[in-house]
Amino acid sequence: MPELPEVETVRRGLAPHLDGALIEALVLNRADLRFPFPPDLARRVSGRRVLTLGRRAKYLLIPLDSGETLILHLGMSGRMIVERRGEAGALAEFHHDVTRLPQHDHVIFHLEGGTRVVFNDPRRFGSLDLRPSENLDQAPALSSLGLEPLGNALHPEALTALLAGRRMPMKAALLDQRLIAGLGNIYVCEALHRSRIAPDRPAGSLKGREIEALVVAIRDVLAEAIEAGGSTLRDFRHEDGSLGYFQHAFRVYDREGEPCPAPGCRGIVRRTVQSGRSTFHCRECQR
């Protein structure tokens, strides 16, 4: 499932096409994805102009001049594909993708000038909601989300308060979207390794310098992943069909059996299972 860097990469790729664009028509090729679409969704969106695209955790936010905002989640396989009119008038993708099947084009934004933005989702685990912009944080999808890890809200004092007294494993705490929003399995494994914190350590046991190192590691991992265009594992592609490349920079994720890359460490990257999910870490340097 796309994590925060992938969604942020999609947002940045879509912004030049959607920011300020007039949606001439919204076409829905089915009545639902993971959840049913809101009533009269096509009518409420058609004819509206997009303001400035945003993101909250793993959700893409598309605010409209009607005072409502589309809340879009890519799910496990969802993609936003941009098509534009060529010189001959035919629609063409920015980057041809032979894996795309048109029967999975479930939502189509027809923009002024002929550009189309297509939400393609083979597994239909994505979602699309429409809520009032003025109290967007009360929308069901967003109301329980925690701190944004890329915003100013995440700092050592805030993280100390969030973790205080918690006995849950450190990895589980970072994956809890009610505490920090947007972190997923890949980037939690990477951040814990960079900060040399064991994934099974009780969250409330971290001390000052460890928390400072973890905050820096979270920010650095996410920033580097966004710069690399996210990580491509299975289904993820950008809005133009191209792939993300941060998976080539993984230090521990999916590196089971390889030497630990931490300076001065002679350990081996191990894979364990926590709450049914793979955890990659080094027992030698992560304490």
Instruction: State the DSSP code for 204.
Output: G
- Give bridge partners of residue 56 from the DSSP assignment: 59
Per the DSSP assignment, residues forming a β-bridge with 28 are: 107
166 is catalytic: no
Question: Which listed residue (44, 219, 271, 277) is catalytic?
Answer: 277
| Residue of 11, 58, 116, 194 marked catalytic | 58
- Out of 2, 5, 122, 149, pick the active-site residue: 2
Number of other residues whose CB lies within 10 A of the CB of residue 255: 19
Check if 207 is active-site. Answer: no
- Is 224 designated active site? no
What is the C-alpha to C-alpha distance for residues 107 and 37, in angstroms, rounded to an integer?
11
Q: Which residue, among 36, 2, 50, has the nearest Cα to 186 in the 3D structure?
A: 2
Residue 159 near residue 219 (C-beta atoms within 8 A): no
Give the integer Cα–Cα distance in Å for 173 and 201.
Answer: 10
Alpha-carbon distance of 216 to 5, in angstroms, equals 16
Is residue 39 annotated as part of the catalytic site, yes or no? no
In the chain, the DSSP E strands lie at 23-28, 54-56, 59-63, 68-73, 79-85, 91-93, 105-111, 116-120, 127-132, 269-274, 277-282
CA dist., res. 129 & res. 71, Å (int): 5
CA gap 12, 16 in Å, rounded: 8
Q: Tell me which of 3, 8, 68, 239 is the catalytic residue.
A: 3
Question: What phi, psi does 203 have (nearest 5°)?
Answer: -60, -35
Q: Are 208 and 187 in contact (CB under 8 A)?
A: no
Residues known to be catalytic: 2-3, 58, 277
